[in-house]
């Protein structure tokens, strides 16, 4: 459950993307590709989109709203604070989609997430997520250091073997 959120969080950190525009794709990398390839209903079921839209707001959206209300507004952009509510909402939406015969994710769910993001994370700037952005530099450094050491090692090995000859 936690891992479910941690992996996207890691991707978010590595990609250093901003919360507003890119988080959908970041949180659900499979989103864009998957839902287009699927029919609207689960096998043998009809996807009740109207129920999905209605209940996603009055059930999952409400649960999320209550959780967000327990966090002070200035902390809404702190990823650590929103991981749990966000995860709970995601699970809620997954279950709901299944109950009303729809695949998850789907376009209605995507719209729902866009609404959630624009109403709760609209003011989250890159600066506020700087902490999340930081690993990007680290990742680059950790990639470049070993790579740049390889030629030096190769040179040393050749030089060493020449000396021994």
Ligand X SMILES: *[C@@H]1O[C@H](CO)[C@@H](O)[C@H](O)[C@H]1NC(C)=O
Q: Which is nearer to ligand X, 93 or 124 (CB)?
A: 124
DSSP classification of residue 102: B
Check the CA dihedral 58-60-61-62 and report its sign. positive
Residue 72 beta carbon to ligand X: minimum distance, rounded to whole angstroms: 11
Contacts of 11 (CB under 8 A, 6+ apart): 26, 29
3-state secondary structure of 41: strand
Stretch that binds ligand X, among 45-53, 79-87, 117-125, 144-152 (CB under 6 A): 117-125
Instruction: Work out the burial of residue 40: count CB atoms within 10 Å of its CB; fewer than 13 is exposed, 13-18 middle, 19 or more buried.
Output: middle
* Beta carbon nearer to ligand X, 64 or 120: 120
State the nearest-atom distance from the C-beta of 122 to ligand X, in Å: 5
3-state secondary structure of 77: coil
122 part of the interface to ligand X, by CB under 6 A:
yes
**Cβ closest to ligand X, residue 80 vs residue 98:** 80
Q: Report d(CA 75, CA 65) in Å as an integer.
A: 14
Say whether residue 143 binds ligand X (CB under 6 A): no
Near ligand X in 67-86, by CB under 6 A: 73
- Residue 68 or 102 with smaller CB distance to ligand X: 68
Residues 128, 19: Cα–Cα separation, whole Å: 10
| Residue of 101, 109, 120, 129 that binds ligand X (CB under 6 A) | 120
Choose the binding region for ligand X from 54-62, 98-106, 107-115, 119-127 (rule: CB under 6 A): 119-127
In the bound state with ligand X, the residue whose beta carbon lies nearer, of 55 and 120, is: 120
Total interface residues for ligand X by CB under 6 A: 4
Contacts of 41 (CB under 8 A, 6+ apart): 47, 101, 102, 103
Chain positions contacting ligand X, by CB under 6 A: 73, 120, 122-123
């Amino acid at each position: 459950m936690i891992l479910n959120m941690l992996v996207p969080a890691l991707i978010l950190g590595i990609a250093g993307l901003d919360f507003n525009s890119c988080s959908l794709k970041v949180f659900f990398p499979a989103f864009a590709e998957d839902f287009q390839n699927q029919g609207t209903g689960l096998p043998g079921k009809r996807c009740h989109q109207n129920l999905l839209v209605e209940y996603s707001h009055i059930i999952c959206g409400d649960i999320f709203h209550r959780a967000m209300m327990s966090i002070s507004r200035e902390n809404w952009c702190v990823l650590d604070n929103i991981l749990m509510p966000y995860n709970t909402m995601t699970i809620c939406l997954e279950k709901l989609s299944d109950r009303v015969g729809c695949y998850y994710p789907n376009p209605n769910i995507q719209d729902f997430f866009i609404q959630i993001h624009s109403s709760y994370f609209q003011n989250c700037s890159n600066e506020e997520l700087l902490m999340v952005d930081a690993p990007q530099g680290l990742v680059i450094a950790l990639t470049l250091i070993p790579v740049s050491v390889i030629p030096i090692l190769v040179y040393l090995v050749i030089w060493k073997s020449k000396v021994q000859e």
